Chains A and B, each alone.
Chain A
């Protein structure tokens, strides 16, 4: 998992991209959570979680992502998911994750 600055969002927003691994479970999820917390502490206002390599998100992954969304929201930041596969989009919709975070380039 890597994170890097990116030029997404509004001009004033400080955006960072976090890349998730192929399977978002406890181990990889906690790594993302730690990374996101650090970025938020550094003043990041837009967190892009890139799920292009992620095939499966399990319940632990969902819980961790909801935690990231909650922490970001409390810090006045927002979370955007990018490159999300169809199955994960369906899962996020079903569980209400997409009510609290946007999905970039979502198919209509």
Chain B
């Protein structure tokens, strides 16, 4: 008997050692899986891949025969399966929930629910047959920050043993990782959706603004029957100058808007003064010359997406030699956008018919711009403007912007391109626009 007793003790000791070695192996295996899951979730892998890998890790770490991971859609009130293994082809891709299910899952939190013991919930009643056919044993609602983001469905363990409390702990820990990955993905999708919505709203707003600006320009031009389309043309010339200066898209658009609205103050000037078919007298001129300041007052309370639009209206009759109005500002005192609009405005005034004179021929206009460069106009703006026109004349720009604004005949004036080249060379002597072609030397 003592011999038997001694054997029993040895057996027990051996059993304990074996059990402890197995527990160690189990720990190493599951912690390895947990570490890998953490790495997978933190990686920038494709979301679907992450979920598929996560399912593998949870099944493989505990030796579970089958399972699935679903994302919860709070709009559709349903679980949408993201990854499935061994649940059978008849397992639904979406599983609907009712309010009571949602409430219970939230209350339950991230803890495994025994499918066999959850028949009180409508969700398990509705899908009872499906779950039985797929041999599901555990259901884990993925509740992250008090929000259900998904669920894990788990089948039987390959050992045939029930899930232990250790298994459940591991499932919870892995569920937290998977839930976080889904929550993060949801957040990203929400940010993308809102950003897209914002972009659309912004585009709508810009469109509305642009339409309003054009309507204003049309209203301004409507008042002056002799300068029909003047504001629109000044907008377009300002746009050309800005793009030739290398401004970015927003700044170019801002320059166009400043051009469209530069004469808004004329809305308050009497029509008979604007439309006078003669040179107006001093009193009428004083009345007309108020329009820049009035324009500024009209435009200032409006929140424009571009800066300096009101300033362009106020100072577009200033000259860099200080002889302009309303304030007689000198060069650097004048806002740059106002200088741009001033050039565009003057160019349009010279190239369109007025009640008391015909439009001036192109050579005369460009000589005028050249002569007044450094007096009325900023020289770099004059060169930018002429460069834009020369590019078009030489076929270097596909857009026919000047041709549309000035007409084909005007643009085809003899010698215009060479005249522009000469002016540009004289204004920028350090970089003459002369082409030198090196040919083969003749013997």
Complex interface: chain B residues within 8 A of A66 (CB): 59-60, 63-65, 86, 158
- Are B60 and A59 within 8 A (Cβ)? yes
B271 in contact (CB, < 8 A): no
Q: How far is the CB of B170 from chain A (nearest CB, A)?
A: 11
**Also in contact, A59 and B25, with CB within 8 A (given A26-B53, A99-B158):** no
**Contact: B62 with A95, CB < 8 Å?**
yes
Q: How far does the alpha carbon of A64 sit from the alpha carbon of B86 in the complex, in Å?
A: 10
In the assembled complex, the CB of B276 is this many whole angstroms from the nearest CB of chain A, namely: 85
| Contact (Cβ within 8 A) A59 B36 | yes
Q: Are A94 and B56 in contact (CB under 8 A)?
A: no
Are B60's CB and A94's CB within 8 A?
no
CB distance from B420 to the nearest CB of A (A): 66
* List of B residues within 8 angstroms of A99 by Cβ: 158-160
CB neighbours of B86 from chain A (8 A): 66-67, 70-71
Q: State whether the Cβ of A90 lies closer than 8 Å to any Cβ in chain B.
A: yes
Q: Is the CB of A103 closer than 8 A to any CB of chain B?
A: no
Interface assignment of A82: CB less than 8 Å from any CB of chain B: no
Q: Provide the bound-state CA to CA distance between A91 and B66, in Å.
A: 18
Q: Which residues of A contact B157 (CB under 8 A)?
A: 96
The residues of A with any CB-CB pair to B shorter than 8 Å are 26, 58-64, 66-67, 70-71, 90-91, 94-97, 99-100
Q: Give B contacts to A, CB under 8 Å.
A: 22, 25-26, 29-30, 32-33, 36, 53, 55-57, 59-66, 85-86, 157-161
Besides A26-B56, A58-B36, 14 other A-B contacts (C-beta < 8 A): A59-B56, A59-B60, A59-B61, A60-B56, A60-B60, A63-B57, A67-B86, A70-B65, A95-B60, A95-B158, A96-B157, A96-B161, A97-B158, A99-B158
Ordered nearest first, which 8 A-B pairs have the shortest CB separation?
A95-B63, A96-B159, A96-B158, A59-B60, A63-B60, A62-B60, A59-B33, A63-B56
